[in-house]
Amino acid sequence: MPGICRPGCALAKQNELKVRAAAAEVLVDVCYRGVSLGNRLSRQLERVAPGERPLLQELCYGVLRWQPALQLLSRRLIKRPLKARDRDIHYLILLGLYQLIHMKIPPHAVVAETVQAVKALDKVWLAAMVNGILRNFQRRRDELLGQLAQQEEGAFAHPGWMIEQIRAAWPEDWQVILTANNQRPPMTLRVNSRLLTRAEYLERLAECHLSARPAPGTSSGVLLARPVAVDRLPGFREGHVAIQDGAAQLAASLLDLRPGQRVLDACAAPGGKTCHILEWQPALGEVVAIDISADRLQQIRENFRRLHLAATLIVGDAARPDDWWDGQPFDRILLDAPCSATGVIRRHPDIKCLRRPGDLVAVAAQQARLLAALWPLLVAGGRLVYATCSILPQENSGQIAAFLHAHPDAEEAPVTASWGHAATCGRQLLPGENAMDGFYYACLRKRPAHSGLAVG
């Protein structure tokens, strides 16, 4: 793989040894301590040399992407379960299996470097066991992979409960969804329409020998043929472009923004949609972005500085407006609600480890609280756009149907679009469609007070 050190010299072996040990530490924290991959990996990347970072990222993302299948495979190969204090060795085994199956590093180098990583972790007594496990897999590779393909968790590399949820929600599409979840996501950009057009930016990319095309279904999106480091993107530091999936770029258009309006972006961090709102309609009266995390709100400030944007930023709980709302109603509200994130697994493979079946009930209850709390903040005749990066109906169309039933002053503004699938309420994009992540959108309009309907 480009940018990855290969075995063959002493320096390369030392670098790869560091990477494998670092990857094992990340995986233990994600899978056993519930730390998100993004947070943990960003800290670990700072501790390794720049030349080691692409391999560290590849190993962590790759093992988490295929972890359900790798775990099943390891159970067939590990005769005696490892102790809790040796979880790092367990993940070194998964790292070795991932490389042997999915990477082009020579098998003898994978085995040798994994064994050396065991020794570097001061667990030399387990080196022979790890060596034997990986060599046993090499001998029985076809047999073991054939057995793995006979089990759904092995064939699709998803937890069993998640497979069942997706199959129940999408009985005609579940296999396509699971397959898409295991693909590497594309890199999609959003051109800052305040500064230049998409056509102009595509010309700049071509001048830099970067292949790209318009992102389907978007007005400002650009789909790169291959991901690149942001410092290779022309005008990135100057705020000409931002990284944002095409599905997330749909929110601004659904808000039907008009000059002078007051807009609330609830649960706003990291701020991609807030920035797009400001780019989409520069003449808005005020944009208020709220998030419960001060650290995550700082990400929005950093994006604002780079993109030359400004808005009112508030640290607060969107479900408790009495703590932060000034009493002035909003013409538009975007609620990008917390969710299971089952539509962005290809981008965040740690979701396979971090999510549990019981999470869905708690998340759905939180979404309902947010909708109920924010609805009174919307002016009569105003619009609320509800969005999730989930593909499960209990968080999406089911949530909106329940809200409409409980709020007679709310009506659906149907989403008519060429993208996605019409749901009972709203519209659903599945992972990979139009090169986009899995997203759900519904538009709600508050009936004017003179409509004659009783509000109860």
Q: Which residues are catalytic?
A: 389
Cα four-point dihedral sign 188, 343, 359, 268: positive
With contact defined as beta carbons under 8 Å apart, do 443 and 189 qualify? no
The burial of 205, by beta-carbon neighbours within 10 Å (0-12 exposed, 13-18 middle, 19 or more buried), is given as buried
- State how beta strands 427-429 and 439-446 pair: antiparallel
Each as own residue / partner, the long-range contacts of residues 449-452 (CB below 8 Å, 24 or more positions apart, any chain) are 449/380, 451/409
Q: Which long-range contacts (CB under 8 A, 24 or more apart) does 305-309 make?
A: 306/237, 306/239, 307/192, 307/239, 307/242, 307/275, 307/279, 308/194, 308/195, 308/239, 309/275, 309/278, 309/279
Nearest to 252 by CA among 282, 226, 274, 229: 274
Nearest to 244 by CA among 188, 198, 205, 202: 188
The token pair at 62 is: 């790759």
Q: Are 352 and 68 in contact (CB under 8 A)?
A: yes
Task: Give the tokens for residue 258.
Answer: 């008009």
Distance CA 434, CA 287 (A): 30
Residues with Cβ within 8 Å of 17's Cβ and at least 6 positions away in sequence, in order, are: 113, 116, 117, 120
